[in-house]
Amino acid sequence: MLALGLAPGATAMPARVVSMNLCTDQLAMLLAAPGQLVSVSFLAADPMSSAMAAEARAYRLNHGQAEEVFLMRPDLVLAGRYTARAAVDLLRRLGVKVVTVDAPATLDAVPDTVRAVGAALGRSPQAEAMATDFTARLAALRAHPAPPRRAALYGPGGFTSGSGTMADDILRAAGLTNVAAAAGLSGYAVLPLEKLVMAAPQEVIVSATYPGTSRPEEVLQHPALKALAARIGPPRQTGPGWDCGTPRVLDAIAGLEARP
């Protein structure tokens, strides 16, 4: 086995890098030298999922399949831990160097993730600068004079983010308390609509809906939720910046603080 997924030290700069995961896509786009990054995943170009959809259009898009990635002759493949496992295993057997990067689970883990991707790309100085800048801006955003407001995150199928999630961390950094975490939910979990209503949040933050219809998204139009919105104001939406722990997550926090 080549490359067991550990970030090597600042080795020689790989010339052709392919990223197969939405989150490594965005970090690679932020850190790679011009011409170094060959391809990012198709999700990176989807404005619903990616905070950098416009930038991603400059790259070839891959669909996480071993064959297409192999034919791009990469020196380095960046993947998430759960990215297309079969494809990643196959690429490794074919002798391609694959580095897997865990998406950071908290805001404080973002700088280390930035450094890990930077090291893999041979761009450690740039990564260090970005990590330092992130830490400073985060500290500035976290300073709040006002008491926290109660907010509820609510998504398709009634899913919410409880304690231990990036979304919970984002809320707290923006000076909000998460009613799901307060109700004892941890991780990505279902918050029954009844409990959401009874928790009487001062703000509801929903995820953006996709075109077309689906039953899991129908709950976002439920009359009970609309009645709640009539009292506390229309729900705000999470954006793609919430999903990956890239430095763009600071924009999401700043957006929450700038209360309409």
Partner 1 sequence: MKVLAPLAVLVALLFAASLLIGPADLTPGQSLAALFGGGGASEAMVLVMREIRLPRALLGLLVGGALGLSGAAMQGFLRNPLAEPGLIGVTGAAALGAVLALQTGAALAFALALPLAALAGAACAVGLILLLAGPRGSTLTLILAGIAVSALAGALTALVLNLSPNPYAATEMMFWLMGSLADRSMQHVWLAAPPILLGCAALLRLGRGLDALTLGEDAAAAMGIRPTRLRITLILGTAAAVGAATAVAGAIGFVGLVVPHLLRRAVGARPSALLPASALGGAAMVLAADIAVRLIAPARDLQLGVLTSLVGAPLFLHLIWRSRRDEA
Interface with partner 1, residue 181, by CB under 8 A: no
Choice from 104, 158, 175, 235 touching partner 1 (CB under 8 A): 158
Q: Is 203 helix (H, G, I), strand (E, B) or coil?
A: strand
Query: Applying CB under 8 A, what is the total number of residues that bind partner 1?
Result: 29
Choice from 71, 187, 194, 233 touching partner 1 (CB under 8 A): 194
Measured at the CA of 30, the angle between CA 153 and CA 104, to 5 degrees, comes to 40
**Stretch of 71-79, 174-182, 212-220, 234-242 contacting partner 1, by CB under 8 A:** 212-220
Interface with partner 1, residue 208, by CB under 8 A: no
Q: How far is the CB of 242 from partner 1 (least distance, A)?
A: 16
Name residues whose C-beta falls within 8 Å of residue 156's C-beta, 6 or more positions apart in sequence.
207, 209, 214, 216, 217, 219, 220
Q: Are 117 and 132 in contact (CB under 8 A)?
A: no
Q: How far is the CB of 162 from partner 1 (least distance, A)?
A: 11
Q: Of 54 and 198, which CB lies nearer to partner 1 in the complex structure?
A: 198
DSSP alpha helices (H): ranges in 43-95? 53-56, 66-71, 85-93
Q: How far is the CB of 192 from partner 1 (least distance, A)?
A: 4
Interface with partner 1, residue 216, by CB under 8 A: yes
Q: Of 86 and 229, which CB lies nearer to partner 1 in the complex structure?
A: 229
Residue with tokens 């965005």: 26
Enter the DSSP assignment of 146: S
Interface with partner 1, residue 195, by CB under 8 A: yes
Interface with partner 1, residue 34, by CB under 8 A: no
Order of all β-strands in the sheet with 60-62: 60-62, 37-41, 17-19, 76-80, 98-101
250: tokens are 């600071």
Residue with tokens 């990176």: 44
Interface with partner 1, residue 184, by CB under 8 A: no
Interface with partner 1, residue 192, by CB under 8 A: yes
Q: Interface residues with partner 1 (CB under 8 A)?
A: 156-158, 189-195, 197-198, 200, 210-219, 222-224, 227-228, 231
